[in-house]
Amino acid sequence: MPNINDNFLKLQAGYLFPEIGRRVNAFAESHPEAAKRLIRCGIGDVTEPLPMAAIEAMHRAVDDLSTHERFHGYGPEQGYCWLREAIAKKAYQVHGVHVEVDEIYVSDGAKCDTGNILDIFGPGNRIAVPDPVYPVYVDTNVMAGNTGSSCPDGSYEGLVYLPCTPENNFVPQLPDGHVDLIYLCFPNNPTGAVASRNELLKWVEYARANHAIILYDSAYEAFIQDSSIPRSIFEIPGARDCAIEFRSFSKQGGFTGVRCGYVVIPRELHGYDSEGNKVSISRLWSRRTSTKFNGASYIVQRGAAALFTMEGMAQTAALISHYLGNASLLLNACRQAGMRVWGGENAPYVWVQCPDGLDSWQMFDKMLHEANVVITPGSGFGSRGERFFRISAFNSRENVDEVCRRIHSLFAR
């Protein structure tokens, strides 16, 4: 009799976005005319074409595979050196941040990496997550057996939840006691919050003092326009001793369907074995990667590398500018409708407090049925996401203008 991993049975009804999809499909079936007007601002998926530099590079890579001379089969599991060199130089070193080529591991996306990283950490770690939280951080820990059962408010026993509220501008405070692994995400998904240099310094100092590791999700760093806001945890002194950084080409270059990201693990970073001996984290991740992953495809990596060319950087900057323009419009529309709003300035998400005492799923239904707009209910991101909702700026300008008109029509007094 094959036994299953019982930890999967602890997971609640369904991952947030499939549940949104189910509700939207049910609405479309029962309201076919209204469904024609539907505008999706829920899932954070890009809508604009890929930068031409990436398209052209991937076309050339396809041609490479058509000849014996330029054919590529299995590539290095950690990623091709030419891509890792481009990342080290253009994403870090040019900004004065110390990251070496052999500390970079190319992958098929940050979502996968933030879940897979748990493979190299053992049981018994005390794990802290922000609340609201990107659901992958929690659900993968449930799957790995790092939590107890779920609670009525949707939280899980065994996790340390770090409240993110309007009072702290959705930047979590340090925990009262000791934790071993800390998930941080800035610019934040779902709230759009950013952390200042001093706020991140407090976290680095805490992690070093407690021999903890920060799992820093920087997938949205390209949206930071304020030069005083750090784009990388490694801008903070001491972070190389206590942090892993996850990045993605999904939002920077529109690669959500192409799939490419990377992890940075400094040489200095160590964990501890059962006898208290130091163990290199990068060595464990390299071993895990070599065993379980055959590397991102040659074609995709050529496309990613092209984003660091002069043409590619100009095109990705234009892409980011487009989505930030959308965010600004949505932010202002919600404010003009009398709602409290966060994010949307250095991030592609607008985080809004539900009006008129509505809870987040009631707000979801109101927007779906009365405005024919799909948003994301905040409760899907944790108990402290209740009575908030997220609007994604990933859309065409035409659609965003229409969403703003519908918000004004529905809520403006």
For 137-161, what is the mean pLDDT?
Answer: 95
For 245-251, what is the mean pLDDT?
Answer: 97
Sheet containing 376-377: give its strands across. Answer: 341-343, 349-353, 388-392, 376-377
For 225-238, what is the mean pLDDT?
Answer: 98
Cα–Cα–Cα angle for 153, 44, 234, rounded to 5 degrees: 90
DSSP 150: B
Query: What confidence tens digit (pLDDT) does each residue in 300-359 have?
Result: 999 999 999 999 999 999 999 999 999 999 999 999 999 999 999 999 999 999 998 899
- The verdict on whether omega for the bond into residue 190 sits within 30 degrees of 0, i.e. cis, is yes
Confidence of residue 412 (pLDDT cuts 50, 70, 90): confident
Q: Where in 135-188 does DSSP place strands (E)?
A: 159-163, 181-185
pTM of the entire predicted model: 0.96
Taking a C-beta distance cutoff of 8 angstroms, is the pair 239, 203 a contact?
Answer: no
pLDDT at 248 over 70: yes
Q: Percentages helix, strand, coil for the chain, rounded to the nearest 5? A: 45, 15, 40
Query: What confidence tens digit (pLDDT) does each residue in 278-293 have?
Result: 999 999 999 999 999 9
pLDDT at 134 over 80: yes
**What are the phi and psi torsion angles at 101 (to 5°)?**
-55, -45
pLDDT value, residue 14: 64
Q: Which residues sit opposite 104 in a β-bridge?
A: 264
For 176-189, what is the mean pLDDT?
Answer: 97
pLDDT value, residue 17: 76
Q: Give the Cα separation of 308 and 312 in Å (integer).
A: 6
pLDDT at 261 over 80: yes
For 252-267, what is the mean pLDDT?
Answer: 97
Listed in sequence order, the DSSP H helices in 126-242 are 135-143, 197-209
- Could you write out the DSSP letters of every residue in 89-132? IIIIGGGT----GGGEEEES-HHHHHHHGGGGS-TT--EEEEES
Query: What confidence tens digit (pLDDT) does each residue in 67-90 have?
Result: 999 999 999 999 999 999 999 999
Query: What confidence tens digit (pLDDT) does each residue in 44-72 have?
Result: 899 999 999 999 999 999 999 999 999 99
pLDDT at 15 over 70: no
pLDDT value, residue 20: 86
pLDDT value, residue 156: 96
Average pLDDT score over the chain: 96
Give Dmax over CA atoms of the chain in angstroms: 68
pLDDT value, residue 154: 87
Taking a C-beta distance cutoff of 8 angstroms, is the pair 125, 146 a contact?
Answer: yes
Cα–Cα–Cα angle for 390, 394, 399, rounded to 5 degrees: 95
Q: Give the Cα separation of 92 and 72 in Å (integer).
A: 28
Closest CA to 147 of 181, 114, 112, 191: 181
Q: What count of Cα atoms within 13 Å lies in the side-chain half-sphere of residue 373?
A: 28
Q: Which residues sit opposite 247 in a β-bridge?
A: 262
pLDDT at 13 over 80: no
pLDDT value, residue 16: 76
pLDDT value, residue 330: 98
Q: Which two tokens stand for residue 377?
A: 């209910």
Query: What confidence tens digit (pLDDT) does each residue in 383-401 have?
Result: 999 999 999 999 999 999 9
Taking a C-beta distance cutoff of 8 angstroms, is the pair 262, 250 a contact?
Answer: no
Lowest mean pLDDT among 14-23, 31-40, 225-234, 318-327: 14-23
pLDDT at 413 over 70: no
Query: What confidence tens digit (pLDDT) does each residue in 100-131 have?
Result: 999 999 999 999 999 999 999 999 999 999 99
